[in-house]
Structure 1
Amino acid sequence: MTILVMGPRWLATEHGGSQYRALGHYPALQRASNLVWHPEQVSVGMASFEGDPRHAVTLLERRLRSQGEISSDVKILILQLQRTGRSYQVLYVTVALDEWQQMLSWAAAQAHICRVSLMAVLAYKFVQPGRAVVLQADRHFHFFARHEGQLVHLQAVAVDHTLADLEGVASMLGLQAREEMAAKGCTDFNVVWLPVAFEGPRSELDVVTAAFSQAAQGVSVKVESEALRASDGSAAVLHTGLKSMVRQAQSKDLVNEGNDLWHVLAREYLPFGALAALALSTVLAYLAYGWMVQADVLRQQAQRLQAQEADIRKNIAVIRRDTRLDAPGVKRQVEVLTLLKKIQGDHDPVRLLDALRQGAQGGIRILSVGTQRSGSGAGETTTRASEPAIVVDGTLPENLINSDRDTRSLSTLVKTLNDHGYRAEPVDIRTGVSGQDSSTRLFAYRLTRIEARQEGGP
Structure 2
Amino acid sequence: MTILALGSEWMVHGAPAAPGSRRTPGPGGGDRLSVLSRYSSVHWPSTVAWHPEQVTLGVASFEGDPRHAATLLERKLRAQGEISSDVKILILESQQVGRGYQVLYVTVALDEWQQMLAWAASQQHICRLTLAVALAFQRVQAERAVVLQVGKHFHFLARHDGQLVHLQALAVEDTVADLEAVATMLGAQVREEMAGRGFSRFSVAWVPAAFRGTQRDLDGLASAFAAATEAEVELVSAPLGTLETTGAEVHSGLLGLARNARPKDLLNQGEDKLQVLAREYLPYGAVVAVVASLGLAYVGYGWMADASALRQRTQQMEVEEASVRQSIAVIARDTAIERPSVNRQVELLHMLRKVQGDHDPVHLLNALKEGAQGGIRILSVNSVRPTTDNAGTTEDAPTVVVDGTLPENAINSDRDTRLLSTLVQTLRMQGYLAKPIDIRSAAAGQDSSTRLFSYRVTRIAPTEQR
Q: What range is the shorter-chain TM-score in?
A: 0.5 to 0.7
CA distance in 1, matches of 2:292, 2:182: 58
Contact 2:46 2:128 in 1 (8 A): yes
Find 2:235's aligned residue among 204, 223, 244. Answer: 223
- C-alpha separation in 2, matches of 1:114 and 1:301: 60
1:8 counterpart = 2:8 = yes
- How many Å separate the matches in 1 of 2:290 and 2:255? 32
Aligned partners of 2:245, 2:169: CA distance in 1, in Å? 34
Deviation at 1:110, TM superposition (A): 2.1
2:196 maps to 1:183: yes
Where does 1:91-102 land on structure 2 (aligned, <5 Å)? Answer: 91-102=104-115
1:291 — aligned with what? 303
- Kept in 2, the 8 Å contact 1:225–1:244? The answer is no
* Equivalent position to 2:67, from 26, 32, 54: 54
- Cα displacement (A) at 1:230: 3.6
Pair 317,120 (structure 1): closer, same or farther in 2 beyond 3 Å? closer
The one-letter amino acid of 2:261's match is: A
Equivalent position of 1:250 in the other structure: 262
Aligned to 1:33: 46
The CA deviation at 1:254 is: 1.0
Distance in structure 2 (CA, Å) of the matches to 1:133 and 1:162: 22
Aligned position for 1:240: 252
Q: Which residue of structure 2 lines up, in the alignment, with residue 268 of structure 1?
A: 280
Instruction: Give a deviation string over 1:184-219, Cα, whole Å, max 9, x none.
Output: 111222221111111111111122222222222x32
Residue 111 of structure 1, CA deviation: 2.3
Partner of 1:454: none
Contact kept? 1:79, 1:121, Cα under 8 Å: yes
CA distance in 1, matches of 2:66, 2:294: 45
Q: TM-score, normalised by structure 1?
A: 0.65
The 1:323/1:5 distance shift into structure 2, 3 A limit, reads: closer
Note the 1:19-418 alignment, pairs <5 A: 19-216=32-229, 218-230=230-242, 235-303=247-315, 305-306=317-318
Question: Residues 324 and 258 from structure 1, CA distance in 2 versus in 1: closer, same or farther, beyond 3 angstroms?
Answer: closer
Alpha-carbon separation, structure 2, partners of 1:320 and 1:208: 105
Alpha-carbon distance in structure 2 between the residues aligned to 1:191 and 1:304? 76
User: 1:321 & 1:90 partners in 2: Cα distance?
Assistant: 88
- How far the C-alpha of 1:76 sits from its partner, in A, is 0.8
| Closer, same or farther: CA 313–24 of 1 in aligned 2, 3 Å | same
Cα offset for 1:244?
Answer: 3.2
Against the structure 1 CA distance between its residues 300 and 102, is the aligned structure 2 distance closer, same or farther, given a 3 Å change threshold? Answer: same
Distance 2:94 2:122 in 1: 32
Q: 1:291 to 1:164 in 2, by over 3 A?
A: same
Distance 1:33 1:311, change over 3 A: same
Q: Which amino acid aligns with 1:84?
A: V
Structure 1 contact 224–244 (Cα < 8 Å) conserved: no
Q: 1:180 to 1:293 in 2, by over 3 A?
A: same
Contact 1:19 1:230 in 2 (8 A): no
Structure 1: 5+ residue runs without aligned partners?
Answer: 326-458
3-state SS in 2 of match to 1:134:
strand
Deviation at 1:164, TM superposition (A): 1.8
Q: Distance in 1 between matches of 2:243 and 2:213?
A: 16
The CA distance in 2 between the partners of 1:249 and 1:133, in whole Å, is 16
Q: Specify the structure having the higher radius of gyration (Cα).
A: 1
Amino acid at match of 1:276: V
Amino acid at match of 1:135: L
Kindly, what percent of the aligned residue pairs are identical?
56
- Deviation of 1:27 (Å): 2.8
1:137 Cα deviation from its structure 2 partner: 0.1
1:47–1:90 CA contact under 8 A, matched in 2: yes
User: Structure 1 residues 108 and 317 mapped into 2: Cα distance closer, same or farther (>3 Å)?
Assistant: same
TM (normalized to structure 2)?
Answer: 0.64
Q: What is the RMSD of the two structures over their aligned residues, measured on CA atoms?
A: 3.0
Q: Cα deviations across residues 398-436 of structure 1 (Å, max 9, x unaligned)?
A: xxxxxxxxxxxxxxxxxxxxxxxxxxxxxxxxxxxxxxx
The count of aligned residue pairs is 327
Q: What is the CA-CA distance between 1:26 and the residue it aligns to?
A: 2.1
Counterpart of 1:116 in 2: which secondary structure?
strand
Can you list the C-alpha shifts for 1:362-402, whole angstroms capped at 9, x where unaligned?
Answer: xxxxxxxxxxxxxxxxxxxxxxxxxxxxxxxxxxxxxxxxx
Per-residue deviation, 1:253: 1.2
* Shift, 1:29, TM fit: 2.9
3-state SS of 1:115 partner: strand
Q: Aligned with 1:112: secondary structure?
A: coil
Q: What stretches of structure 2 of length at least 5 have no aligned partner?
A: 16-25, 338-466
Displacement of 1:119: 0.6
Q: Give the partner amino acid of 1:128.
A: Q
Q: Distance in 2 between matches of 1:208 and 1:304?
A: 86
Show structure 1 runs of 4+ deviating over 3 A: 15-19, 230-236, 300-325
